[in-house]
Structure 1
């Protein structure tokens, strides 16, 4: 399970794999994103084949199990095509390893569908940089612990926590908070953990005890799993290409019901296209 979580966060053999697999993990479960990535790799032999315009529908079908297949397939091809155009036909993104953290963020921000959380995951898990990604689990727990202001969203919380969390603790703390948010009844969204104990018992939450000791009143938060990065990325892309001069950020993110979803065999995924 830890390996699956790390893979969905971008811990892959190549930077290209890390970028694409992390994008596929947006707005879905680890099981579904893993199935979508595996199906894509099984369907295609090379990234060059995936990037070919004639294979767009084939790519969409291959990653359908992960959700948002049409949007994701278009973005995957666009990213690969941009890299190919700028690097003599190569789809390799290993050139990022030679850039500074700020340069990497600037570089990846211009690609469609890559927002702060996705980029932070690639920096931490693939490139080994000291980053502290903030997903829904991390944000929910940090809110309840009083580590960030109640008004902070994922982007503002990331900016604050990335500056405050010691570099040597960033990977371990991020992984611990994500795992805790998926297992603990007290800290899970709507008190419904994705992976509750099999015997039906409720784990004693150590963070709850710390909150009492420090006099912190835990907040009750409803899980809203969203990827505002996608909206912002689309808008910024249009601005950079002069298709649009301004944009409005929506007040409420799109909600996706957070429920445990079992692993889906690739064979059944293809049948349900």
Structure 2
């Protein structure tokens, strides 16, 4: 069996195994793509609770997207300080809002529903500071397009199991893992959710709970006893993923 075919089969096995472990999830209804775009920017390297606090405080303070766009930088930075790296996120938020409002005439990205997946990805990735993780999260969760977000948890678990190599970046993993999986939005949604949960609950960064892992029988990390840190070690934020 060719190396690529082996990886495809291993990826599908891991996907099916976690489907059984966590249960197949249905899409939950999203109604505000613009809100989710900004919340995704806020969510980078912070907890859900801190993301929500930052978003709620920002909207209470400035009221509208135009208000956020026009807010003094220092004031916006202070307002979202519960999210990590507010000094990085505030300029991106203002620049994204400015770009969208200037092009579309309003802070509204519902039109992405009508674009192909490739067109929508290209449009989002042209926004200041927006990279593949932000774009894929938005397109999968809000628009149900067949893309695969690879965050820190998904990246770490897929590396440890051996679905991607130890030097494959999160950006490259988006494309590589997608090529191994069916081009079906629901399947990709479940792959993302399950590997995310597995990274939070079992395959944690420090002291992974290998004896409790349903993937251990084919996991490179477990089988080799490897303990070296992988390339998903948190790095300083410069551009949002």
Q: Same fold (TM over 0.5)?
A: yes
Residue in structure 2 matched with residue 120 of structure 1 by the alignment? 136
SS of 1:189's equivalent? coil
Alpha-carbon distance in structure 2 between the residues aligned to 1:85 and 1:135:
30
Alpha-carbon distance in structure 2 between the residues aligned to 1:146 and 1:111:
33
Alpha-carbon distance in structure 2 between the residues aligned to 1:59 and 1:45:
12
Cα displacement (A) at 1:179: 0.9
Residue in structure 1 matched with residue 234 of structure 2 by the alignment? 225
Distance 1:99 1:129, change over 3 A: same
SS of 1:147's equivalent? coil
Residue in structure 1 matched with residue 8 of structure 2 by the alignment? none
Aligned partner of 2:79 among 54, 57, 62: 62
Bigger RCO (CA 8 Å, 6+ sep): 2
Structure 1: any 5+ residue segments left out of the alignment? 1-10, 194-201, 234-273
Alpha-carbon distance in structure 1 between the residues aligned to 2:31 and 2:238:
25
Give the number of equivalent residue pairs: 209
Question: Does residue 1:99 correspond to 2:99, yes or no?
Answer: no
TM-score by length of 2: 0.77
Residue in structure 2 matched with residue 252 of structure 1 by the alignment? none
Alpha-carbon distance in structure 1 between the residues aligned to 2:52 and 2:215:
30
What does residue range 1-273 of structure 1 map to in structure 2 within 5 Å? 12-52=30-70, 54-88=71-105, 90-166=106-182, 167=184, 168-184=186-202, 187-191=203-207, 204-211=212-219, 216-217=223-224, 219-222=226-229, 224-226=233-235, 230=239
Distance 1:109 1:221, change over 3 A: farther
User: Structure 1: which 4+ aligned runs deviate by more than 6 Å?
Assistant: none
SS of 1:28's equivalent? coil
Please list the CA deviations of residues 147-187 of structure 1 after superposition, one character each: whole Å capped at 9, or x if unmatched: 11222111111111012122242111211111111111xx1
Asked if the contact 2:88–2:237 (Cα under 8 Å) also holds between the matched residues in 1, the reply is no
Alpha-carbon distance in structure 2 between the residues aligned to 1:86 and 1:204:
50
SS of 1:230's equivalent? coil
Alignment root-mean-square deviation, CA: 2.7
